[in-house]
Structure formats: C-alpha cells, structure tokens
C-alpha cells in the first residue's frame, strides 16, 4: 500500500474494537447501545463485528452515545478483534 493510502479495513476493525470496549465499560447490552445511539440492533452488531462501512451519521451517533469523538472511535487500539461474519451461515 502506498504511504498516502488509508487502510479502511484497519479503521473498521478499530471502530469495532472501540465500540465493543466502550459498550463493555458501560456494561450495556448491544440493544442498550443501539438504543443510546438511535440505531437498529442489527446495524450496531454489524459495526461492532467490523462487517459494515458505517455512514458519517452512524459514526456521529455512536460518538454521542459513548460521549466521545469520531476520531477516538476510529483510533487504533491494541484490542482489535478479528472480523466476524454477521448473519446465518451459508448452506452447504
């Protein structure tokens, strides 16, 4: 990757880890976090699992719900989880 490129996949993983960490710190369920951010539960789950490219609106809502900034939500963390698939497993 050229030095000026942005690693969007890493940013999604950072976001996922930070949302999960902030939610756990508050001892919120995913539903409680979704309600606080005015998001659908499935939408929040996809963000937390790194399976979604969230909109600016979603990022701002999450930042407000967790009383932080969008920049901090996207900041690197040492607790970056592996990306997980969301939904039902494919039929074989």
pLDDT tens digits for range 62-74: 999 999 999 999 9
Block mean pLDDT (10 aa), the chain, length 92: 73 95 97 98 96 95 97 81 54 57
Helix (H, G, I), strand (E, B) or coil at 16: helix
pLDDT at position 85: 55
Domains and CATH numbers, the chain: 8-74 (1.10.260.40)
pTM metric for this prediction = 0.79
Q: What is the pLDDT of residue 82?
A: 47
Integer CA distances (angstroms), 4 to 1, 15, 51, 68, 74, in order: 8, 21, 24, 27, 17
45: its two tokens: 């789950």
Would you state the pLDDT for residue 61? 98
């Amino acid at each position: 990757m050229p030095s000026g490129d942005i690693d969007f996949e890493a940013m999604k993983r950072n976001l996922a880890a930070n949302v999960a960490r902030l939610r756990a710190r508050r001892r919120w369920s995913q539903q409680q976090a979704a309600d606080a951010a005015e998001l659908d539960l499935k939408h929040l789950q996809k963000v937390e699992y790194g399976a979604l490219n969230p909109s600016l609106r979603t990022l701002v809502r999450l930042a407000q719900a967790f009383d932080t900034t969008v920049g901090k939500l996207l900041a690197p963390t040492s607790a970056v989880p592996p990306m997980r698939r969301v939904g039902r497993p494919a039929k074989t």
